[in-house]
């Protein structure tokens, strides 16, 4: 198994997932790159911590946002199909809906489930379901979009932020789009609005919302939308939207930026064009668009690696997967969610309808400290099963005797492989050298030699290089 | 949906709903419950309810008077609870509460005074790893479900270890994350074998006697049964948690009926809406039992959207009058039924 193969596979799993342990990487490499991509694109045998086990322990799961979102954290940490969860996170960022307005955790969890269910399928189906999603309806006021008295909010964001992008439609298109979605609302809208706006649990807890179509409130008149004329309803509007070249460009570009690089350079434009082609060839299948991306030479290139700052959720979930934590329900899971929140990415609470600002904006003085502390604590803990697996591997190297340089190189390899600058490597090696060679043979669990490894792993997790995917 | 009698000899009548969510955020706020997980009735008819969120034991009665609370606030000190899971009275009105975080059983009197405790984390004799269901036999021996050790342990009422049975697996006598427990008039023990989707019956010394149910949502099938209670005639009342219903089987395991829940407004809920007409008025115009789109057409989602249905029935309790109390952790209430 070549180090190049391992490095490439590690890159794929950082981007299409949340990173991978060495055992997982070796299995993926044995499977082959293209076959692994196909497995990621066709999720099955997920193996994640089951919902019922989580709900038995966290009895209020779904009823308030924090406990609801830890369910998703467990899923991201334990799934064997990480692309599905990564894409769900992507859709959550793109179709950003916040808890703060409806105060409806169950409904928001249902929205995440909708994103997951349609994550890799037809973009057309996803947009239809998005338009029927009660959390989105309430978030963008489509419950106030009536025949004869339109509210443009959803129609506008559907075009601007969710599908085509600014400059590709007219103000008249916005109005006509809104007309097409009149009558698309939530059931018991008056009662649900009263409860939502008051954040009322009383008397019997939340009542989850459901979509309702009210024919009498739908404007069934003729509309001209994006150059086509007819008595369009919402599904017709989506059909027209997904046929637009601008939509193919928009969604391909956003996927490229999320999975590959913040900026689309000249070479990147060629990949985007291939993704656009796959979008139309496949009938708008996201799975096919991503296949074009992940198998492109650009995505596999050295240039693409470690070129994106890990988003907070990527960082905390990746650290937890590496350490092997949270395989069973525990109150400690709150620390994972809280960690991401303190780093600037509160699941279920994006800052506004345009989602989170990705890229370098994740890093500032305060968030860097949170990121470093979280990762170092998680990965420096020698009691965690994933870290013990790393120590076991180190023990088999040279009969468990490692010079400071060897120890640093092996740990960098097992945590990535993670390339670091000479300066970083020298700094790590100097620190380890203070106590000479490491002798792991005959080590005691949690003893001094293991703690030295844990300390080094924590230091590596605190390096600037570890912040990148 | 309410009841579906399968025979002429067994039926249950809905009596009333008691409870609503208690006020306040993380603090404790007077009348109400917050994710109740266990319920039992003292010899004088008072109803004790232990809450998983806003942790405390609440006391009320069938007239819906809120009588007070104790063990308030999260903690691990004597008299405090951390992750309470279930509770039961012995014959002397001493209340035993299990706690899966502290791995112990705490004992209180009916005034809320702390009387004692037992248990520590482990898998040795008498040690516990996530205690959940608890019930007493006619001699005041306690049977405690030791969920993560996949076994049942029997203690004296003072916590002296007596014996144990069970191990992980799905064969006869084996268990997979068991949860609730019941004892019949002959001191046979019934265990809600949660992840095996069945109820197992044992003698009081742990000898396997019978198994009832299998995975599914049909009559007599279970999806993660959380609790079981047995009346004097041997009828088993099962909190079929993931199917969001209660099923009743006869002593041979033959299906009798199912309850899906038919909650009405409790007095406390009525009072709430009287004080909050901005919610009460639109509620009166609402369809509170909507039909579900296909992707949400599951018992869980239906329960989450329909106020009258059981939502996560977690505990079934019988009192001395044969009334059935179904505690719903997600609706912050319990529904009462009476055998007719």
Q: Please list, in sequence order, all residues whose beta carbon lies within 8 angstroms of the beta carbon of residue B65, skipping any fewer than 6 positions away.
A: none
Q: What's the pLDDT score for residue B29? A: 67
Place of tokens 């969860």: A85
Distance from CA of A211 to the nearest CA of B (A): 8
Enumerate the β-bridge partners of residue B324: B318, B337
Q: State which residues form the domain around A440.
A: 312-467
Residue of chain B minimizing CA distance to A206:
B304
* CA dihedral of residues A106, A202, B313, B336 (deg, nearest 10): -160
Q: What's the pLDDT score for residue B55? A: 93
Closest-CA residue to A99 (of A443, A349, A453, A409) = A349
**Interface contact flag, B329 A59, Cβ < 8 Å:** yes
Enumerate the β-bridge partners of residue B145: B152
B-chain CB neighbours of A201 within 8 Å are: 21, 332
B-chain CB neighbours of A194 within 8 Å are: 278-279, 282
Closest-CA residue to B246 (of B184, B279, B199) = B199
A-chain CB neighbours of B239 within 8 Å are: none
Residues A111 and A185 in one domain: yes
Distance from CA of B186 to the nearest CA of A (A): 30
Q: How far apart are CA A210 and CA B93, in angstroms?
A: 45
Residues A289 and A328 in one domain: no
Q: What's the pLDDT score for residue A257? A: 97
Distance from CA of B52 to the nearest CA of A (A): 7
Domain-ending residue, one of A278, A304, A330: A304
A-chain CB neighbours of B314 within 8 Å are: 59
Helix axes A33-41, A286-294, angle to 10 degrees: 160
Residue A29 forms part of a structural domain: no
Residues A376 and A285 in one domain: no
Closest-CA residue to A387 (of A295, A333, A460) = A460
Written as tens digits, the pLDDT of chain A (469 aa) is 789 999 999 999 999 999 999 999 999 999 999 999 999 999 999 999 999 999 999 998 777 777 778 999 999 999 999 999 999 999 999 999 998 888 888 899 999 999 999 999 999 999 999 999 999 999 999 999 999 999 999 999 999 999 999 999 999 999 999 999 999 999 999 999 999 888 898 999 989 899 999 999 999 999 999 999 999 999 999 999 999 999 999 999 999 999 999 999 999 999 999 999 999 999 999 999 999 999 999 999 999 999 999 999 999 999 999 999 999 999 999 999 999 999 999 999 999 999 998 888 899 888 999 999 999 999 999 999 999 999 999 999 888 899 999 999 999 999 999 999 999 999 999 999 999 999 998 899 999 999 999 999 999 999 999 999 9
What number is the ipTM of this complex? Answer: 0.94
Q: What's the pLDDT score for residue B5? A: 47
Q: How far apart are CA B35 and CA B22, in angstroms?
A: 10
Residue A406 forms part of a structural domain: yes
Residues A317 and A409 in one domain: yes
Residue A31 forms part of a structural domain: no
What is the helix (H) or strand (E) element at residue B201, kind and residue range? strand B198-202
Flag whether residue A332 sits within 8 Å of chain B, measured between CB atoms.
Answer: no
Residues A404 and A328 in one domain: yes
**Interface contact flag, B285 A190, Cβ < 8 Å:** yes
Flag whether residue A53 sits within 8 Å of chain B, measured between CB atoms.
Answer: yes
Q: How far apart are CA B307 and CA A211, in angstroms?
A: 17
Q: Please list, in sequence order, all residues whose beta carbon lies within 8 angstroms of the beta carbon of residue B181, skipping any fewer than 6 positions away.
A: B133, B134, B135, B143, B144, B145, B152, B189, B190, B191, B192, B227, B228
Across the interface, of B269, B286, B333, the residue whose CB is closest to A188 is: B286
Distance from CA of B286 to the nearest CA of A (A): 5
Cα radius of gyration (chain A) = 24
**Interface contact flag, B21 A110, Cβ < 8 Å:** no
Q: What's the pLDDT score for residue A104? A: 87
Domain-ending residue, one of A270, A304, A338: A304
Domain-ending residue, one of A250, A275, A304: A304
Residue A337 forms part of a structural domain: yes
Q: What's the pLDDT score for residue B26? A: 46
Residues A248 and A333 in one domain: no
Residues A125 and A201 in one domain: yes
What is the helix (H) or strand (E) element at residue A100, kind and residue range? helix A99-102
Residue of chain B minimizing CA distance to A58:
B52
Residues A272 and A340 in one domain: no
Across the interface, of A59, A62, A195, the residue whose CB is closest to B37 is: A59
DSSP symbol at A442: T
Residue A387 forms part of a structural domain: yes
Residues A347 and A205 in one domain: no
Please, which residues 172-191 of chain A have a Cβ atom closer than 8 Å to chain B?
187-188, 190-191
Residues A297 and A443 in one domain: no
Q: What percentage of chain A exceeds 70 in pLDDT?
A: 100
Place of tokens 């041979």: B252
Residue A8 forms part of a structural domain: no
Q: How far apart are CA A163 and CA A94, in angstroms?
A: 10
Q: Please list, in sequence order, all residues whose beta carbon lies within 8 angstroms of the beta carbon of residue A211, skipping any fewer than 6 positions away.
A: A132, A133, A134, A137, A184, A185, A186, A187, B293
Residue A136 forms part of a structural domain: yes
Residues A245 and A276 in one domain: yes
Distance from CA of B260 to the nearest CA of A (A): 16
**Interface contact flag, B330 A205, Cβ < 8 Å:** yes
Q: Please list, in sequence order, all residues whose beta carbon lies within 8 angstroms of the beta carbon of residue B199, skipping any fewer than 6 positions away.
A: B190, B191, B192, B193, B211, B212, B213, B222, B225, B228, B236, B238, B249
Q: How many domains does chain A have?
A: 2
Residue A331: φ, ψ to 5°: -65, -20
Residues A393 and A443 in one domain: yes
Residue A215 forms part of a structural domain: yes
Q: What's the pLDDT score for residue A310? A: 97
The B161-165 sheet, strands edge to edge:
B131-136, B142-146, B151-155, B161-165
Please, which residues 211-250 of chain A have a Cβ atom closer than 8 Å to chain B?
211-212
Please list the ranges in chain B whose pLDDT falls under 70: 1-8, 24-29
């Amino acid at each position: 198994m070549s180090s190049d193969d391992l490095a490439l596979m590690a890159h794929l799993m950082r981007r299409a997932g949340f990173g991978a342990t060495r055992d997982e990487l070796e299995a993926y490499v044995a499977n082959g790159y293209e076959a692994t991509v196909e497995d990621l694109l066709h999720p099955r045998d997920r193996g994640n911590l089951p919902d019922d086990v989580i709900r038995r322990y966290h009895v209020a799961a779904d009823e308030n946002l924090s406990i609801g979102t830890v369910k998703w954290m467990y899923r991201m940490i334990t799934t064997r199909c990480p692309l599905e969860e990564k894409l769900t996170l992507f859709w959550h960022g793109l179709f950003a809906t916040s808890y703060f307005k409806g105060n409806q955790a169950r409904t928001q969890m249902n929205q995440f489930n909708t994103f997951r269910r349609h994550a890799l399928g037809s973009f057309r189906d996803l947009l239809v379901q998005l338009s029927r999603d009660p959390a989105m309806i309430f978030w963008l006021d489509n419950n106030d979009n009536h025949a004869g008295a339109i509210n443009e909010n959803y129609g506008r964001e559907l075009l601007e932020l969710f599908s085509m992008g600014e400059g590709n439609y007219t103000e008249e298109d916005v109005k006509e789009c809104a007309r097409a979605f009149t009558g698309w609302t939530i059931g018991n809208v008056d009662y649900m609005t009263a409860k939502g706006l008051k954040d009322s649990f009383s008397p019997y807890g939340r009542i989850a919302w459901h979509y309702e179509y009210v024919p009498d409130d739908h404007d069934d008149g003729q509309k001209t939308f994006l150059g086509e004329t007819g008595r369009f309803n919402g599904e017709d509007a989506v059909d027209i939207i997904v046929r637009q070249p601008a939509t193919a460009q928009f969604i391909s570009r956003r996927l490229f930026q999320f999975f590959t690089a913040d900026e689309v350079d000249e070479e990147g434009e060629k990949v985007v064009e291939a993704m656009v082609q796959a979008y139309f060839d496949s009938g708008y299948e996201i799975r096919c668009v991503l296949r074009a991306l992940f198998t492109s030479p650009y995505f596999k290139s050295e240039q693409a690696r470690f070129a994106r700052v890990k988003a907070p959720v990527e960082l905390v979930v990746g650290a937890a997967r590496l350490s092997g934590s949270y395989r069973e329900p525990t109150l400690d899971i709150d620390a994972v969610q809280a960690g991401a929140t303190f780093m600037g990415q509160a699941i279920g609470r994006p800052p506004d309808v345009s989602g989170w600002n990705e890229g370098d904006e994740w890093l500032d003085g305060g968030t860097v400290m949170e990121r470093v502390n979280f990762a170092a604590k998680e990965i420096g803990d020698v009691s965690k099963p994933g870290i013990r697996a790393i120590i076991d591997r180190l023990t088999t190297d040279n009969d468990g005797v490692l010079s400071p340089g060897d120890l640093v190189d092996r740990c960098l390899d097992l945590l990535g492989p993670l390339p670091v600058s000479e300066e970083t490597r020298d700094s790590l090696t100097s620190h380890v050298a203070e106590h000479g060679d490491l002798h792991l043979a005959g080590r005691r669990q949690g003893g001094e030699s293991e703690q030295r490894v844990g300390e080094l792993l924590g230091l590596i997790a605190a390096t600037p290089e570890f912040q990148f995917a | 949906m309410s009841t579906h009698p399968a025979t002429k000899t067994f039926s249950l009548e809905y009596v009333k709903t008691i409870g609503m969510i208690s006020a306040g955020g993380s603090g404790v706020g007077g009348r109400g419950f917050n994710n109740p997980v266990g319920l039992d009735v003292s010899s004088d008819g008072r109803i004790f309810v232990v809450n998983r969120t806003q942790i405390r034991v609440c006391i009320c009665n069938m007239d819906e008077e809120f009588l007070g609370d104790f063990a308030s606030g999260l903690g691990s000190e004597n008299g405090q609870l951390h992750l309470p899971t279930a509770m039961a009275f012995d014959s002397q009105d001493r209340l035993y509460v299990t706690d899966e975080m502290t791995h112990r059983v705490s004992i209180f009197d009916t005034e809320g005074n702390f009387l004692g405790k037992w248990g520590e984390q482990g898998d040795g004799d008498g040690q516990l790893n996530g205690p959940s269901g608890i019930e007493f036999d006619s001699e005041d021996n306690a049977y405690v479900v030791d969920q993560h050790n996949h076994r049942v342990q029997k203690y004296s009422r003072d916590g002296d270890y007596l014996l144990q049975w069970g191990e992980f697996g799905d064969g006869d006598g084996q268990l997979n994350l068991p949860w609730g427990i019941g004892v019949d008039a002959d001191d046979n023990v019934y265990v809600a074998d949660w992840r095996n989707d069945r109820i197992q019956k044992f003698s009081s010394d742990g000898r396997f006697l019978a198994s009832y149910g299998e995975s599914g949502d049909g009559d007599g099938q279970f999806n993660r049964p959380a609790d079981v209670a047995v009346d004097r005639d041997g009828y088993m009342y099962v909190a079929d948690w993931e199917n969001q219903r209660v099923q009743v089987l006869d002593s041979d395991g033959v299906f009798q009926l199912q309850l899906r829940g038919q909650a009405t407004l409790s007095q406390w809920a009525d009072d709430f809406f009287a004080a909050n007409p901005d919610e009460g008025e639109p509620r009166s115009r609402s369809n509170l039992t909507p039909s579900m789109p296909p992707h949400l057409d599951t018992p869980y989602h239906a329960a989450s959207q329909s106020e009258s249905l059981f939502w996560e029935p977690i505990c079934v309790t019988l009192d001395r009058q044969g009334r059935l109390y179904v505690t719903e952790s997600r609706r912050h209430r319990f529904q009462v039924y009476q055998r007719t």
